[in-house]
A = this chain, B = another copy of it.
Amino acid sequence: MEFSLERVQQRSGRPVYRQIADEIRRTIESGGLAAGERLPPIRDLARRLGVNRDTVAQAYEELAASGTVQSSVGRGTFVACRPGAPQATAFHLRFAPTAERLLAFERARPRFGTAEGAVPMHSLIPDPSLYPADGFRRALNRVLRDGGPDLLLYGVPQGHAGLRSALSDHLSRSSLPVQPDEVVLCHGASQGISLALRLFAVQGDAIAVEEPTYNNVLGAALALGLQTAPVPMRKDGLDLVALERVLERPEVKVLYTIPTFHNPMGTTTSRRHREALLEIARRTGKPIIEDGYEMELRFEGRASPPLAGLDRSGLVVHLFSFSKSLFPGARVGALIARGRSVDALLALKQATDLSDALPLQAALADFLESGEYGRHLPRLRRLLRGRRDALLDALETHMPEGTRWTTPEGGYQIWVELPGKIDTSDLLADAVAGGVLFAPGSQFHCDGRASRCLRLTFAMAQEEELRVGVERLARVVRDRLRCAPRRASRMLV
């Protein structure tokens, strides 16, 4: 497609996405793009034009809304057969703008396809061979036999009382003193993120996030019409000076943070950093959503109390998850909050999906009370430590000079910064071909911009696989470094 950046920038009276849409329409009309032909992927065109991916996505949405193009998830955007004339039988449904933006966001996710034999170091999904599946099945069978049909009623929005009690006992003994009535069970910590965001922010508001941050929180914010205000991550955690500036902005309503085993970086902040962060939140009057999704997985060093444990003002909503410490399939997470925040979270939960499935919550309660969860955790931690060591060792042995990485004390992920000017998104296709998968750093950026970093996980791959994976990655990186000067010309972060 012939397409000039200059032309777009010159006519500055019109929004840029409209200008892009106009250009594409003109190209189609002049025969530069034929019916059925594929438009360039959003990220490619955004790069070529030096604009945000959202801008291109909006242009494509406008073209789709007018029937000029048709989009299909995972396949791309194509010139419609009869541009401008919607099909007689197909009614044009107008989606909410957030839904349209979310579709564009989903289209921009990296697709790994069927990379058979590739070492899976991209995923944070724990290896099913680690799940105590049989014990859980027996617990489920037991609670359903004892509970009978009453367990198949709606639960209350707060969730199964036995699990709230067992979980607060467990947390109080380990990391966070908490009362059962401060626990709101939810449909995975993912739902917890959405509910907590909705507690503090509505469409048009902004949320402060670490950058890089958990990519699904970016999707959750987008789906709620929230802007993201990125705050840079340092080696020791959030840049607190930048944080204060961001939290002072009136449109920023809340901070989402992962102080322990950060995703994607794997780093953990000190107690001192946590206290300073809380003081900034108090000073600026902004609450904190603390995602503690991997907090159960410390295999080394001493834990600092979570933000929720240091908070004396009730400004922290803490997220707990069973998805990483046990398995994700029960879809059980928890919000831990105080006072009116509990009431408001319950109202939001009720308005969203009434309640969760009691049988799964009851089975987890049984699993905690019987001590089976308590016996599972040290086994898992030992195994993870071995995997981390194998991964660190392989990085040391194989990666080219100038590569840097973090050393997590728990969790499943390591953050790697490559030398030179490699955009890790560009590297992904080579890596897939070379038999190794990773998560490119750009997907953890609010604006999806290029990154020389990548996340490696030891959730799915075992020790020997990790060694092979890093060897393959190192080869791919060296190959790229040899031809880097020609390929990379942009500034990378």
- Which A residues contact B (CB, under 8 angstroms)? 71-73, 89-100, 102-103, 105-106, 125, 128-129, 131, 133, 136-137, 140-141, 144-145, 148-155, 187-188, 190-191, 194, 198-205, 216, 219-220, 222-223, 225, 253, 282, 285, 287, 312-315, 323, 327-331, 339-341, 343-344, 346-348, 350-360
Instruction: Find chain B residues with CB under 8 A from A94 CB.
Output: 200, 253, 285, 287
Query: CA–CA, A105 to B151, complex, Å?
Result: 28
Residues of B within 8 A of A358 (CB): 329
Given contacts A93-B287, A131-B149, A194-B353, 9 further A-B contacts (CB under 8 A): A89-B313, A93-B200, A100-B344, A129-B149, A136-B144, A140-B359, A216-B351, A220-B352, A223-B348
Q: Please name 28 pairs of A and B residues whose Cβ atoms are closer than 8 Å in the assembled complex, sorted by A.
A: A71-B340, A91-B313, A91-B314, A91-B315, A93-B287, A94-B200, A95-B344, A96-B198, A97-B202, A103-B340, A103-B343, A106-B350, A128-B148, A129-B149, A133-B152, A137-B144, A152-B329, A153-B328, A153-B329, A187-B353, A188-B354, A190-B354, A198-B223, A202-B203, A222-B351, A328-B354, A329-B359, A357-B357
Cα–Cα distance between A155 and B194 once the two chains are bound (Å):
19
CB neighbours of A190 from chain B (8 A): 352-354
Point out the residue from B145, B202, B220, B347 that lies within 8 Å of A351, measured CB to CB: B220
Q: Which residues of B contact A133 (CB under 8 A)?
A: 144, 148-149, 151-152
* Residue in chain B with minimal CB distance to A143: B137
Task: For the complex, give the distance between the alpha carbons of A100 and B348 in Å.
Answer: 10
Tell me the minimal C-beta distance from A485 to chain B in angstroms. 39
Report how far A356 CA is from B216 CA in the complex, Å: 16
How far apart sit A202 and B92, CA to CA, in the bound complex (Å)?
A: 18
| B202 and A90 within 8 A (CB) | no
- B199–A96 contact, CB under 8 A? yes
Tell me the bound Cα distance from A200 to B358 in angstroms: 31
The 3 closest A-B pairs by CB, nearest first: A152-B329, A91-B313, A223-B351
A388 to B156, CA, bound (A): 28
Q: Residue on B with the closest CB to A130?
A: B149
| Contact between B200 and A95, CB atoms less than 8 A apart | yes
B128 touches A149 (CB 8 A): yes
Q: Is the interface of A mostly helix, strand, loop or mixed?
A: helix
Write the chain B residue with the least CB distance to A222. Answer: B351
B327 touches A353 (CB 8 A): no
| Complex partner residue of A315 from B93, B103, B141, CB under 8 angstroms | B93
Chain B nearest CB from A486 CB (Å) reads: 37
Chain B residue contacts of A154, Cβ below 8 A: 125, 323, 328-329
Task: With a 10 A CB-CB cut-off, give which of A102, A153, A331 has the most chain B CB atoms.
Answer: A331
| Alpha-carbon separation in the docked complex, A102 to B346 (Å) | 10
Docked pose: A359 CA to B356 CA in angstroms: 14
B194 close to A352 (CB less than 8 A): yes
- Chain B, residue nearest A91 (CB): B313
Q: Which residues of B contact A253 (CB under 8 A)?
A: 94, 96
Q: Which of B73, B105, B140, B323 contacts A141 (CB 8 A)?
A: B140
A205 neighbours in B (Cβ, 8 Å): 96
Question: In the complex, A360 Cα to B354 Cα: how many Å?
Answer: 17
Interface centre among A351, A355, A357 (most CB of B within 10 A): A351
Contact A151 B329 (CB under 8 A): yes
Distance in angstroms between the alpha carbons of A400 and B140 in the assembled complex? 50
- Would A314 and B90 count as touching, CB distance under 8 A? yes
A93 x B341 contact (CB < 8 A): yes
Contacting pair B351 A102 (CB below 8 A) = yes
Whether A93 contacts B128 by the Cβ 8 Å rule is: no
Q: Are A329 and B357 in contact (CB under 8 A)?
A: yes
In the complex, what residue of chain B is closest to A355 when comparing beta carbons?
B331
Give the CA-CA distance A210 to B1 in the complex, in Å.
Answer: 49
Cα A328 to Cα B144 with chains together (Å): 15
Q: Which residues of B contact A128 (CB under 8 A)?
A: 148-150, 152-153
Residue numbers in B under 8 Å from A97 (CB-CB)? 202
Q: Tell me the nearest residue of chain B to A88, going by C-beta.
A: B313
A98 and B202 form a contact (CB under 8 A)? yes
